[in-house]
Chain A
Amino acid sequence: MEKRQHKSFWKNAFIGLTFIFLYLPIVVIIIFSFNTSKLNILFKGFTLHWYAMVFHNYQIMSALGNSLIVGAISTLLATIIGTLGAIGMSRYRFPGKQLLDKVLYIPIVIPEVVLGIALLSIYSLASIPLSLFSLILAHVTFCIPFVVLTVRSRLIGIDKSLEEAALDLGATPLVAFIKVTLPLLLPGIISGAGFSFALSLDDVIISFFTTGPASTTFPLQVYAMVKTGITPEIDAISTVMMLVIVLVIVINAVTQVKRVKQ
Chain B
Amino acid sequence: MMEIPKNDFSTKFKKHTTPTNQPAHNSISEKISKWIQIIPISLWMLLLVVIPLMYVLVMSFMSRNYYGGIVYKFTLNNYVQVFNWQNLKIYGQSIWIGLMSTIICLLIAYPFALFTAQKGPIAKMILITLVIVPSVSNSLVRLFSWITLLRRTGVINTILEKIGFIKQPLAMVYNTGGIVLGMSYLLLMFMIIPIFNSLDRIDHDLIEAAEDLGASKWKILQEIVIPLSMPGVFAGCIMVFIPSLGYFFVSDVMGGGTSIMMGNLIENQFQVSRNWPFGAAISVMLIVLTMILLVLFQRRGGKMDDLG
Contact = CB atoms under 8 A, between A and B. Distances in A.
State if A and B touch, Cβ cutoff 8 Å.
yes
B265 to A, nearest CB: 10
B158 A42 contact: yes
A117 B136 CA distance: 25
Contact of A230 (B50, B115, B144): B144
Contact of B37 (A84, A114, A120, A141): A84
A41 interface: yes
Contacts of A208: 249, 267
Contact of B287 (A84, A114, A256): A114
A100 interface: yes
Given A100-B45, A122-B52, A222 B185 contact: no
B287 to A, nearest CB: 6
Per DSSP, are chain B's interface residues mostly helix, strand or loop, or mixed?
helix
Contacts of B242: 109-111
A24 B148 CA distance: 11
A185 interface: no
Nearest to B304: A105
A50 interface: no
Interface residues of A, number: 90
A173 B148 CA distance: 58
Query: Which of B37, B188, B294 is the most central at the interface, judged by chain A CB atoms within 10 Å of its CB?
Result: B37
Size bin of chain B's contact surface: 35 or more
Nearest to A172: B29
Interface string A91-117: 110101000100111111111111101
Contact of A25 (B48, B146, B280): B146
Interface stretch (B2-10, B14-22, B78-86, B117-125): B117-125
Contacts of B308: 108, 146, 149-150, 153
Contacts of B11: none
A113 B92 CA distance: 18
A262 to B, nearest CB: 12
A158 interface: no
A88 B287 contact: no
B142 A14 contact: no
Interface string B8-40: 000000000000000001000110011011101
A55 interface: no
Interface stretch (B53-61, B171-179, B222-230): B53-61
Nearest to B149: A28
Contacts of B136: 198, 202, 242, 245-246, 249
Interface of B: 25, 29-30, 33-34, 36-38, 40-42, 44-46, 48-53, 55-56, 59, 108, 111-112, 115-116, 118, 121-122, 125-127, 129-149, 153-155, 158, 185, 188, 238, 242-243, 245-249, 252-253, 262-263, 266-267, 270, 276, 279-280, 283, 286-287, 290, 294, 304-305, 307-308
Interface of A: 11-12, 14-15, 18-19, 21-26, 28-29, 32, 40-42, 80-82, 84-85, 87-89, 91-92, 94, 96, 100, 103-115, 117-122, 125, 137-138, 140-141, 144, 146, 148-150, 152-153, 173-174, 198, 201-202, 204-205, 208-209, 218-219, 222-223, 226, 230, 234-235, 238, 241-242, 245-246, 249, 253, 256-257, 260-261
